[in-house]
């Protein structure tokens, strides 16, 4: 079993259950400390290879995932793995798509869908989840 993130690490979000997930922007340098065990890259185009396991969720900038079924599967895997591994969620800038995905993880963790965006803005980045359709996506993530 691997260890999860330090709760005080850069970009680390503590979900309501206590699980820790790191959000970041891929255009920025990798933060100090351990590398992820698993990452989800939220990009419109195929991401470059990284030395850890990752899933690519096709998600163009300022938009929504191209496949909701794939988003459910990939974010569900990330959520499950965050219980015992260092899981990172990352897009280009680390705010819009990353914040939206983190809010979806909060919903999977039991947060009310209508409160998940504010939870992420309060605990991760005040400017997370950048568009009205991203906010709406979170509110409808589980149906």
Q: How far apart are CA 63 and CA 59, in angstroms?
A: 7
Mean pLDDT value across residues 44-57: 95
CATH fold, domain 13-139, is 3.90.190
What is the Cα–Cα distance from 94 to 124, expressed in whole angstroms? 10
Q: Is the pLDDT of residue 27 over 80?
A: yes
Q: How far apart are CA 32 and CA 5, in angstroms?
A: 12
Whether residue 1 is predicted with pLDDT greater than 70 in this model: the reply is: no
Q: What is the pLDDT of residues 74-103, one digit of tens each?
A: 999 999 999 999 999 999 999 999 999 999
Read off the pTM. Answer: 0.96
Instruction: Catalogue the E-assigned strands of the chain.
Output: 12-14, 20-25, 38-43, 53-58, 87-91
Average the pLDDT over 3-9 and give the result. 91
């Amino acid at each position: 079993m691997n260890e999860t993130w330090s709760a005080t690490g850069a970009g680390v979000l503590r979900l309501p259950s206590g699980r820790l997930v790191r959000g970041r922007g891929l255009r920025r340098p990798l933060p100090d400390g351990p590398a992820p065990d698993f990452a989800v890259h939220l990009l419109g185009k195929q991401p470059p290879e990284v030395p850890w396991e990752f899933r690519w969720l096709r998600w163009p900038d300022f938009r929504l995932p191209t496949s909701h079924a794939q988003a459910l599967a990939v974010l569900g895997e990330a959520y499950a793995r965050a219980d015992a591994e260092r899981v990172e969620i990352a897009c280009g800038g680390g705010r819009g798509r990353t914040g939206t995905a983190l809010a979806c993880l909060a919903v999977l963790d039991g947060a009310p869908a209508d409160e998940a965006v504010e939870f992420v803005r309060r605990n991760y980045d005040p400017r997370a989840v950048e568009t009205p359709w991203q906010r709406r996506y979170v509110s409808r993530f589980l149906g």
